Every structure is written in structure tokens, then in C-alpha cells.
């Protein structure tokens, strides 16, 4: 065998032909390694749909590289000599190819980077670790931006990203002379009889094989494989992106925060699966949205909102993750200790908003942002659930979840467990918010207007209990000052009533936990 120059290991969320480790790769002299391993498939109990999506996407991507002339060594999960770990599979490939060096693009997760850093010593082969330039902001650029700030605010970071990328900029000024058009967004939910349908991709033979594998090997993991319809090739992911830009982007802004029982997707893009796995390039996606604006096909409030999610929030949370890990995984500002209620796994609860959000999650391995933030996240925060348990749930149940994006969204944005490093106030709300943005409350066993007694919406009770319980820790948060003032002015017997009702409700959750 001719001497192999580079052995290029491509991870399951690095499925991009423009990956830095593939830059300059030579099909004649280099070999590619892609491996399905139990270690990655089981470090948390991923949703079945997430596993099927990742394995099928990996298998299709290996084929795409072969069609481009590359020689790909691919380990399937069921291969009898699969060692079960990335390190083990790499060692086996090194023994076969005896490459001059190993090349890898840095991993998205801290856990995997620690592993990679050990390889050179263990394998006695040079390991070249390249930056992941699929992200628009490098670690060094983010560190410089963060500087010595005590709190990091996405809005200011986003403005710099707009200037840096030139997206929606005109002569150095933001398009429409404003950075943010959220005032025009955030309309409540309404059934739209003309709502278009999102892209669906029926399984091919490769996906069918993977579905059978996941069903057999992961029978107890959460979720359903029924009606699996995710894109597992780059070509199909691009089709989904085009359909989003043409059909859904125009109303993306106004419907962004709405929640509707009959439609879990509304005008959301459902593209995070494909961006995070590497099928779609985030900058190209933003440029396509910007083009739609310039061609008069989508309004500025929608296009700006979409671009902000990607070059703003997505890059920002990744920056925070790498700036603050590994300590970030342990934060617990409110000292919350409660276990995650069982209904997060089953959907069995009488709270209709949670029933719908968890059922959507079990079915699709997807819930949109406001469901994640203001229903499941809001409830866990109000109830005082242990942040690491909340984090683990989110990492398991969503098909777009990788720790670099999930952890800061959960611990920072949703649970305020970092004490305000990432968010300016905790995202807590009573039932009125959910009622205003959704059609969930009308058919709920609880009464969203009631604030006391057994029929009162639990969010109303838990909200004030949370404020009272944490009043001291919340002092100094300007955006919560009116709420803290209202709590302080509340008659003691009403405060006591909230505390009592909350304790009884949380006790009933514990009882159902014990009985489950
Ligand atoms: P859209 O609403 O269509 O948004 C467009 C794109 O913007 C998304 O595809 C995504 O790439 C990006 N985006 C939007 N918001 C965020 C954000 N806050 N952080 C990063 N990217 C963002 N996103 C993940 O990709 N993986 C996660 O594991 C994840 N966990 C979350 C947990 C919590 C508690 C919260 C509040 C948010 C989480 N998000 C996560 C962010 C967001 O909810 C999802 O990106 C979004 O719901 C994906 O659906 P979509 O593609 O239809 O998004
Ligand atoms: C999430 C995941 C899963 C389920 N399986 C694999 C796998 O078998 N092989 C692999 O290379 N990657 C997998 N991944 C993605 C990795 O966990 C991912 O690279 C890390 O989350 C680092 O971002
Ligand atoms: Fe959720 Fe309360 Fe509305 Fe029921 S009444 S759906 S618990 S917000």
C-alpha cells in the first residue's frame, strides 16, 4: 500500500465538504475515517430519532465523499470488530494505514476535545487539530469581544457580527436603520388555513436499515421513529432550506413566538438539525435570506429575525460555551435541587402546555424555541429543578442537540443558572404569557385566570413562589424591579397562600414521581 499522508477523522456533526480538515485533502494520498461508535451514541440516552438521523446522515455523507473520489473507511455500529469508541476506531485505522499524521477539525464538545488532545501521546502519531471555520466567530475573536465584561449580551455581539459579515448592512448602517425589528414580531397564535407544509423526506433503503438498527439497539430510549422524515443528505437539506426561504420566511418574524396545538412547527425553519450536523452552511443560509429581502420576497422584520438567530444567538452561545467550559456545566445560581418530573419523559400531565410540548418532543425530537424556553424551561426553573438534570434532558431529547449549543441555552438562557452571565433576567412567566401566545389554555384542566386554589394554573402559583423564594438573589436585576416591588407590596397572607399552594403542588409532583 502506498504511504498514507493524512488520516482524516470526520465526526458525526462534521458532515461538510468544506470542513477545515478536508481542505487540501488528496484522494490519492489521504484516507478518511468516519465511525459510528457506542460511546458517542450512549454518553446520554439520545432520542431514537436523533440517533437515526445522525447515523443515516453519516452513512450518506460517506457515500458522497466516495463519489468525490475519496477512500473512506466507515465503521458501522453493528460491525463485529467495532471497538465502541472514537479512540479505539482511530487506533485500529492507524494500525492499518500507518499514516504520517492524523487530521481532525476541532470537536464541538469539550468532552470530545479532551479525548482528541490525548491522542498524539497515546497513538504516537502527530495529530493536527484544525479550527472549525464553519463558525463565523473564532474562539480568539469571541474572547477579545468578551474581554473582561462581567455579563455578555447577545445584542451587542450581534451588531459586531452584522458589521463583520456585512449582512443586512447598507453603507455601514443597519438596513432599515435599526438593528432589531422584534417590536413588529411576537404576534399570538392563530390558525392559518393556508399554512404551507414543511419539507418531508421519506426514508430510503439506507435510512430503513438505520431505523431497524436503532429500534433494535436502543429500544428504551425516548421517542418514536414512526414517520421519520428528516433529510439525511445535503441535497435534501438544501431543498428544505429553499422551501423555508420561499414559503415560511416571509411570516417567520410575526409567528416566531406563537404556539399552536395543531401545528408544532408554524413558520420555524426546522433547519437546526442540518446546520448543526454540517449539511448547511450558516452564512450561505443567511445570505439566501438576505437575497429574499432584497428581491422583495420577505420583509425585513422576518429576515433580520432569522439572521439574528444564526449569526447572533448561535455564534454567541458557542462563544460562551468555549469561554466558560468546563466550569459552566456545574453552575446552579438558585441552588435548585428538585429532580426532573417524570412527565418530561412521558408527557403525562394535566398541564396542557407541557403535555403538548413534551408530546411534540417525543414524536418529532423537536420543539420550537418558545416551547423550549417558555414552557418546559420556564416550568423547570419555576419548580426549582436541578439545572444539570434539565440540561441532560434537553441534550437527550432534541435531534439538534449538541452540548456546545444546548448547554448555554439551557443553563444560561433558560435556567439563569449562571446568575446572569448570558441573560439579563430569568425567562420566567406566569400562565398569562402562555395564554397570550398560544391556544393551549382553553382546553386545560387548570384555569389560567385563577391564582389560588386547586384549579389555579400551576404557572401562576409557581411564578410568585419563585419570585418570593429568590427575591434576594434577584435584587439588582433592573428588569425584574417592578415584579420584586409587587411581591414586597403583597399582603403577607397572599404571599403565604402562594407558598402553600406551590408547596402542595410540588409535593404532588414528588408523589407522582415516587409512584411512577
Ligand atoms: P428557527 O426558529 O427557524 O431559527 C433559525 C435558526 O436559528 C435555527 O435553525 C438555529 O440554527 C438558530 N437559532 C435560533 N435560536 C438559537 C439559539 N438560542 N441558539 C442557537 N441557535 C439558535 N438549538 C439547537 O440548535 N440545539 C439545541 O440543543 C438547542 N437547545 C435549546 C434549549 C433551550 C432551553 C432553548 C431555549 C433553546 C435551544 N436551542 C437549541 C435554540 C433554538 O430553540 C433552536 O435552535 C430552534 O428551536 C431550532 O429550530 P428551528 O431550526 O426551527 O429554528
Ligand atoms: C451525537 C453523535 C452520535 C449519536 N453518534 C456519533 C457517532 O457514532 N460517531 C461520531 O463520530 N459522532 C457521533 N455523534 C456526534 C458526536 O457526539 C459529536 O462529534 C460531538 O458531539 C462533538 O461535537
Ligand atoms: Fe399551561 Fe396553565 Fe395554560 Fe394549563 S392553564 S395550559 S398549565 S399555562
Q: Where are the domains of the chain?
A: 6-130, 139-200+234-324, 343-515
Please write the tens of the pLDDT for every residue from 279-324: 999 999 999 999 999 999 999 999 999 999 999 999 999 999 999 9
The residues pairing with 385 across neighbouring beta strands, listed in sequence order, are 338
Which CATH topology does 6-130 take? Rossmann fold (3.40.50)
Sign of torsion, CA 23 26 30 33?
positive
- The Cα 27–Cα 70 span in angstroms is 5
Query: What's the average model confidence in pLDDT over 420-429?
Result: 95
139-200+234-324 sits in which CATH class?
mainly alpha
Asked if residue 268 has its Cβ within 6 Å of ligand 1, the reply is yes
Q: In what side-by-side order are the strands of the sheet with 127-130?
A: 72-75, 31-35, 6-9, 101-105, 127-130
Phi and psi for 329 in degrees, rounded to 5?
-65, -15
Kindly report, residue by residue over 90-137, the tens digit of the pLDDT.
999 999 999 999 999 999 999 999 999 999 999 999 999 999 999 999
In this prediction, residue 65 carries a pLDDT of 98
Q: For residue 472, how far is its CA from the centre of ligand 2 (angstroms)?
A: 41
Mean pLDDT of 185-212: 92
Query: Atom 3 of ligand 3 has which residue's CA nearest to it?
Result: 441
The position carrying cell 416551547 is 371
What one-character DSSP code corresponds to residue 263?
Answer: B
| Contact predicate 338/506, CB 8 Å | yes
**Mean pLDDT across the stretch 377-388?**
98
At 184 the pLDDT is: 86
The pLDDT mean for the chain works out to: 96
Please give the Cα distance from 89 to 104 (Å, whole number). 14
pLDDT per residue as tens digits for the range 332-350: 999 999 999 999 999 999 9
Query: Are 316 and 158 in contact, with CB atoms under 8 Å apart?
Result: yes
Q: Domain 343-515: give its CATH code.
A: 1.10.579.10
Residue 510 has pLDDT above 80, yes or no: no
| pLDDT band for position 188 (cuts 50, 70, 90) | confident
The end-to-end CA distance of the chain, in Å, is 59
Q: Is 185 helix (H, G, I), strand (E, B) or coil?
A: coil
- Percent over 70 (pLDDT), the chain: 99
C-alpha dihedral sign at 476, 478, 479, 483: positive
User: 446 CA to middle of ligand 3, Å?
Assistant: 6
Burial-class residue 76 by CB neighbours within 10 Å (0-12, 13-18, 19+): middle
pTM higher than the cut 0.95:
yes
**pLDDT tens per residue across span 141-160:** 999 999 978 789 999 999 99
| Any ligand 1 atom below 6 A from CB of 372 | yes
DSSP string, 217-254: H-TTSSS--TT-----SHHHHHHHHHHIIIIIGGGHHH
* Residue 118 CB burial class (10 angstroms; 0-12, 13-18, ≥19): exposed
Q: Please give the distance, rounded to the nearest whole angstrom, from the Cα atom of residue 69 to the centre of ligand 3.
A: 56
In the prediction, which pLDDT does 516 show?
41
Q: Which of 14, 40, 112, 401 to mutate to test the pocket of ligand 2 (most atoms within 8 A of CB)?
A: 40
Distance from residue 116's CA to the centre of ligand 2 (Å): 13
Kindly state the cell numbers that stand for 421: 452571565
Is residue 290 within 8 Å of 307, Cβ to Cβ?
A: yes
Q: What is the pLDDT of residues 204-230, one digit of tens each?
A: 999 999 999 999 999 999 999 999 999
> pLDDT band at 194, cuts 50/70/90?
confident
Amino acid at each position: 500500500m502506498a504511504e498514507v499522508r493524512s488520516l482524516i477523522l470526520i465526526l458525526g456533526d462534521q458532515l461538510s465538504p468544506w470542513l477545515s480538515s478536508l481542505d487540501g485533502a488528496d484522494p490519492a494520498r489521504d484516507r478518511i475515517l468516519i465511525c459510528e461508535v457506542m460511546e458517542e451514541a450512549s454518553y446520554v440516552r439520545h432520542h431514537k430519532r436523533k440517533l437515526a438521523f445522525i447515523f443515516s446522515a453519516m452513512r450518506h455523507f460517506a457515500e458522497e465523499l466516495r463519489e468525490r473520489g475519496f477512500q473512506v473507511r466507515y465503521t458501522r455500529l453493528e460491525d463485529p470488530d467495532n471497538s465502541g469508541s472514537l479512540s479505539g476506531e482511530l487506533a485500529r485505522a492507524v494500525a492499518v494505514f500507518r499514516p504520517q499524521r492524523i487530521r481532525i477539525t476541532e470537536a464541538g464538545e469539550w468532552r470530545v476535545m479532551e479525548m482528541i488532545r490525548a491522542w498524539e501521546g497515546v497513538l504516537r502519531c502527530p495529530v493536527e487539530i484544525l479550527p472549525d471555520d464553519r463558525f463565523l466567530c473564532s474562539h480568539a475573536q469571541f474572547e477579545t469581544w468578551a474581554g473582561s465584561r462581567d455579563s455578555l449580551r447577545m445584542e451587542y455581539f450581534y451588531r459586531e457580527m452584522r458589521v463583520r459579515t456585512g449582512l443586512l448592512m447598507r453603507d455601514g448602517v443597519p438596513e432599515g436603520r435599526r438593528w432589531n425589528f422584534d417590536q413588529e414580531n411576537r404576534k399570538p397564535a392563530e390558525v392559518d388555513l393556508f399554512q404551507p407544509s414543511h419539507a418531508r423526506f421519506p426514508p430510503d433503503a439506507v435510512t430503513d436499515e438505520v431505523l431497524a438498527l436503532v429500534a433494535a439497539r436502543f429500544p428504551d430510549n425516548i421517542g418514536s421513529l414512526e414517520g421519520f422524515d428528516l433529510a439525511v443528505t445535503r441535497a435534501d437539506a438544501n431543498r428544505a432550506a429553499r422551501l423555508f426561504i420561499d414559503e415560511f420566511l416571509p411570516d417567520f418574524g410575526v409567528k416566531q413566538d406563537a404556539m399552536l396545538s395543531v401545528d408544532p412547527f408554524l413558520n420555524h425553519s426546522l433547519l437546526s438539525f442540518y446546520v448543526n450536523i454540517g449539511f448547511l452552511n450558516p452564512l450561505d443560509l443567511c445570505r439566501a435570506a438576505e437575497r429574499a429581502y432584497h428581491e422583495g420576497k420577505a420583509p425585513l422584520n422576518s429576515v433580520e429575525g432569522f439572521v439574528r438567530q444564526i449569526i447572533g444567538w448561535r455564534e454567541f452561545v458557542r462563544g460562551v460555551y468555549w469561554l466558560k467550559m468546563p466550569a459552566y456545566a456545574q453552575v446552579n445560581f438558585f441552588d435548585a435541587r428538585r429532580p426532573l418530573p417524570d412527565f418530561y419523559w412521558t408527557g403525562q400531565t394535566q398541564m396542557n402546555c407541557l403535555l403538548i410540548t413534551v408530546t411534540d418532543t417525543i414524536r418529532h425530537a423537536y420543539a420550537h424555541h418558545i416551547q423550549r424556553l417558555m414552557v418546559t424551561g420556564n416550568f423547570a426553573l419555576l419548580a426549582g429543578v436541578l439545572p444539570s438534570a434539565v440540561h441532560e434532558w434537553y441534550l437527550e431529547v432534541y435531534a439538534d442537540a449538541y452540548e456546545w449549543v444546548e448547554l448555554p441555552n439551557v443553563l444560561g438562557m433558560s435556567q439563569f443558572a449562571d446568575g446572569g452571565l448570558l441573560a439579563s433576567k430569568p425567562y420566567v412567566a406566569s400562565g398569562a404569557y402562555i395564554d397570550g401566545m398560544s391556544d393551549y389554555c382553553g382546553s386545560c384542566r387548570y384555569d389560567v385566570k385563577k391564582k389560588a386554589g386547586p384549579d389555579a394554573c400551576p404557572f401562576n402559583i409557581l411564578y410568585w413562589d419563585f419570585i418570593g423564594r429568590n427575591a434576594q438573589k434577584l435584587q439588582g436585576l433592573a428588569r425584574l424591579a417592578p415584579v420584586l416591588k409587587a411581591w414586597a407590596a403583597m399582603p403577607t397572607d397572599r404571599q403565604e397562600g402562594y407558598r402553600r399552594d406551590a408547596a402542595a403542588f410540588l409535593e404532588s409532583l414528588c408523589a407522582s414521581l415516587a409512584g411512577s
